[in-house]
Structures are given as C-alpha cells and as structure tokens.
Amino acid sequence: MKSMFDIRGKKAIISGGSRGLGKGMAQGLHDAGVELVLMGTNENVMKAAAQIHTEEVPAHGVIADFRDKKDVEKAFGSAMALLGDLDILVNNAGMQMRHPAEEFPLEDWDTVLTVNLTSAFIMSQLAGKVMLQKGYGKIINIASLLSFQGGITVPAYAASKGGIAQLTKALANEWAGRGININAIAPGYMATDNTAALRADEVRNRQILERIPAGRYGTPEDMVGTVIYLASPASDYVNGSVLVVDGGWMGR
C-alpha cells in the first residue's frame, strides 16, 4: 500500500509556491521526498525554497511573471535546467480582482485570465512535451469552487477557473492514453490572502461558515493529501477529474 503513494525521488514544479496553498503543497511534496522548483513572482519564492531545501531533497526557487507569456516560458526553461527532468507539474499560480461586472476593466480581465488560465496552459504544454517523450507524468491544476459556481464581482476569476476545469478535461482526452495524468483540485474557502476580505466581513464570514458542513475554512495543509494522491501511482487511472476539497460546501 505504501508504494502506491511513494513519490520519493520524483521531480516537480509548483507555480505560486511561495505562499498560501502553494507553499503548503510544496512543503507536503518535499516532505514526501520530491525535489522541487517553486515558482513565484518575487524574491519571496527564493526564501520559501531555502526554508525547505535539504541536501537529500533539494528545493529551488525561480522568479516568474505570470502576466508575461514569454517570461513563463523562460521560467520553465530555468526550472528544467535545475531539475534535469520533470515528473510532476502543479499549476497553482493565480490572482483575484474584484469589480462589479458592469464596471470590470478589460485590462484587469486580461490580466486575471493570463495569470490564472493562459500561464497554466503554457506550463502544461511545455511540461507535456517533456512527459510525452518518456510516457509518464502528472499534471495537477488548481481549480476552484468557482469552476462550478459564478461568484459575485469576480467574473474574470470565475471564467478563468471554469477554464481550468475544462482545460484539465481537454488535456486528459489527448494525453491520458500516452502516460500522462491530468487532474485538478478545487479548493473550497481557504484561510489565505485571497479570502482575507471575506473573513474580515462579519456578515459574509458568518454566511460562509454556516454553509460549510466542516464548520471551518480550509488550510494549506488540507491540500497536501490530495496533491500527493494525484502525484502518486495511486491515481494512475484517474484522469480529467476535478477533485473538490471544500469541507462539504458543494454537497450542501
């Protein structure tokens, strides 16, 4: 049974790995023996990598601007130079902007879609070329409850996360028979920077907690078991799925 979840010695890239859910998943993968490249937008990603790095299980940092398609490609190349190979890709980089739909600036729309969706496609395409050559790989996209629901004042985020769910299925249709597993995790309401405004709103915070059967917000640690499962041989016949980690929100 242990061998089903054994990912020691694997090599992984995780985007958005310097804080929040990404940092929690990076720690979990590293604890499982995976050599990592953490990608982030500033020097904090170098510090995050240094915090978990060991000689036995290295962790590296690469700075990437996910608003810039060329910089995403450059960052992937830098990651591959550090790792030498790639077994696991976690597309976690993401951002949020809030405006009423009738006032949502097109510039902000483009930025959110580029960071949340287009960069994930670029990373997946580049990783796919590596993984297809050897007939093995695990791509894990980070979706959202807003892959299923519309949200309020977040049309770009909802569109991007709906796109992540569909991209996951589309890539699985093409690559599942060629040795690559492509799946997504849809986190529920998590205690991260993205939900700080909601948690600070007494009324909205109460409404959210009342709907979550588990009675609490999730934490980065709540993502670890799922990401290890999807990165391991235990999920070899799982493809094109969006696994919800939400304390029961979607079942309410």
Tokens of 180: 């690559």
CA angle 66, 219, 210 (to 5 degrees): 115
**Residue numbers of the chain with a pLDDT score lower than 50:** none
CATH, domain 2-245, list 3.40.50.880, 3.40.50.720, 3.20.20.60, 3.30.1230.10:
3.40.50.720
pLDDT at residue 205, rounded to an integer: 94
pLDDT at residue 195, rounded to an integer: 85
* Owner of token pair 């695990």: 138
Whole-prediction pTM: 0.96
pLDDT at residue 2, rounded to an integer: 74
Pairing of strands 59-63, 88-91: unpaired
DSSP state letters, 109-167: HHHHHIIIIIHHHHHHHHHHHHHHHHT-EEEEEE--GGGTS--SS-HHHHHHHHHHHHH
157, 189, 217, 229: which is the annotated catalytic residue? 157
Residue 51 phi, psi dihedral angles, 5° rounding:
-65, -30
Measured CA distances, 74 to 5, 47, 147 (Å): 32, 20, 29
Instruction: Indicate the residue type of 171.
Output: L
Task: Dump pLDDT digits (tens) for 59-113.
Answer: 999 999 999 999 999 999 999 999 999 999 999 999 999 999 999 999 999 999 9
Tokens of 146: 């807003």
* Owner of token pair 């004042």: 153
DSSP 172: H
Crossing angle between the packed helical segments 119-134 and 155-175, to the nearest 10 degrees: 10
Pairing of strands 88-91, 11-15: parallel
How far, in Å, CA of 89 to CA of 170, rounded?
17
How far, in Å, CA of 15 to CA of 33, rounded?
18
pLDDT at residue 137, rounded to an integer: 98
* 157 has catalytic annotation: yes
Long-range contacts of 159-166 (CB under 8 A, 24+ apart): 159/113, 159/117, 160/94, 160/112, 160/113, 160/115, 160/116, 160/117, 161/116, 161/186, 163/113, 163/116, 163/117, 164/91, 164/116, 164/117, 164/120, 165/242
Cβ atoms of residues 78 and 89 within 8 Å = no
